[in-house]
Amino acid sequence: MGAYLACEGIYRRAASQMSWLLKREVSHSSIQRMVCQVGNRIADGEEAERRSVFEAGEAIPGGKVKADVLFGESDGAWLHLQREKRRSVEVRVGTLYSGKRPLVKNRYRLADKCSLVSLGISGSAWQEQVLKAAHRYYDLEQTWLLICGGDGNQWVRHTFQGFGMQQEFVLDRFHLSRAARRAMGNRHRAHEMVKKLRQQGFPVVHQELMQLIEQASGKEKNEIEAGLSVY
């Protein structure tokens, strides 16, 4: 119960709520221990399942959601730690969905969404978690294309590489615009380039980018070339 209450807020609030329910004092440190105990049991169960699937070769139960095309997005955020040997840790977030459904004007919701979050694991372990979650939720035998989105980081690009189907990577609009501004050095020109890129495709702007590289020199040239290699 303490771990469940802690999911809804801070430990002190969970301790207050549990104290009221049990009619006896429960400290926030007790809530913390409960969270650690539950978390360790969940982690042990996930590790046992990972070994049975990716080492022993057991089949993953297939999901029931059918989709010809799936969309996958992943990103990460760094959290600062307190009283730990490591000063920070990366939280990885992944989302899969089959499309978007309109709610009201200019607002949409993700259809058939499957999300997961992981803390402080390696890239290969993250790929295994995403693949396992996808198999449990979707009937991947019916899916022929996966469109992946993200910020261009290597681990983001590799998040869905174990799916064994055709994939296309799409750079998200924020990082696309930022890369264009860094390359062009002019917000208006960058906006026009992004507009052409999104509406007509990369071949339309390729020559313009190559001209930028030829005209640039030193650090500026290196930054543009690095941006092209990533984006």
Q: Mind listing the pLDDT tens digit for each residue in 147-167?
A: 998 887 888 888 998 888 999
Cα angle: 205, vertex 200, 203; to 5 degrees = 40
- In the chain, the number of structural domains is 3
Domain of residue 35, residue span: 1-56
Per-residue pLDDT tens digits for 71-89:
999 998 888 888 778 888 8
In this structure, are 108 and 192 located in the same domain?
Answer: no
Q: Are residues 140 and 158 in the same domain?
A: yes
Q: Which of 170, 202, 218 is a domain's end point?
A: 170
Please count the residues of the chain: 231
- 111 and 139 part of one domain: yes
Residue 100 pLDDT: 92
pLDDT digits (tens, 9 = 90+) for 115-143: 999 987 888 889 999 999 999 999 999 99
Residues 139 and 98 in one domain: yes
Average pLDDT, the chain: 86
Q: Which of 16-20, 101-105, 190-194 has the lowest mean pLDDT?
A: 190-194
Quick one: 48 and 113 in the same domain? no
Angle at which helix 202-215 crosses helix 187-200, to 10 degrees, equals: 150
**115 plus 50 within the same structural domain:** no
For the record, the structure tokens of 216 come out as 């640039």
CA gap 221, 231 in Å, rounded:
15
What is the band of 223 on the pLDDT scale with cuts at 50, 70, 90?
low
Helix (H) or strand (E) holding 190: helix 187-200
Is the four-CA dihedral 162, 116, 121, 45 of positive or negative sign? Answer: negative
Choose the most confident range, by mean pLDDT, from 87-91, 107-111, 208-212: 107-111
More confident residue, 137 or 179: 137
Region 25-42 average pLDDT: 93
**H/E element, 207:** helix 202-215
Query: Residue 166 maps to which CATH number?
Result: 3.30.420
List the one residue out of 80, 81, 35, 39 whose CA is nearest residue 27: 35
Question: What percent of the chain is modeled with pLDDT above 70?
Answer: 94
Same domain? 52 vs 86: no
Q: What is the pTM of this model?
A: 0.76
Average pLDDT over residues 176-186: 76
Answer with the residue of higher pLDDT: 83 or 191: 191
Do 104 and 122 reside in the same domain of the chain?
yes
Token pair 């801070």 in the structure block, residue:
10
Burial 27-62 (b: 16+ CB within 10 A, else e): ebebbbebbeeeeeeeeeeeeeeeeebbeeeeebee
Listed residues 16, 38, 56: the one ending a domain: 56
Structural contact between residues 28 and 12, judged by C-beta atoms closer than 8 angstroms: yes
Residues 70, 166 share a domain: yes
Indicate the pairing of strand 166-171 with strand 145-150: parallel
Same domain, 52 and 69: no
Query: Which of 56, 77, 94 is where one domain is finished?
Result: 56
Residues in contact with 72: Cβ distance below 8 Å, sequence separation at least 6, in sequence order: 94, 95, 96, 130, 146, 147, 148, 149, 159, 160
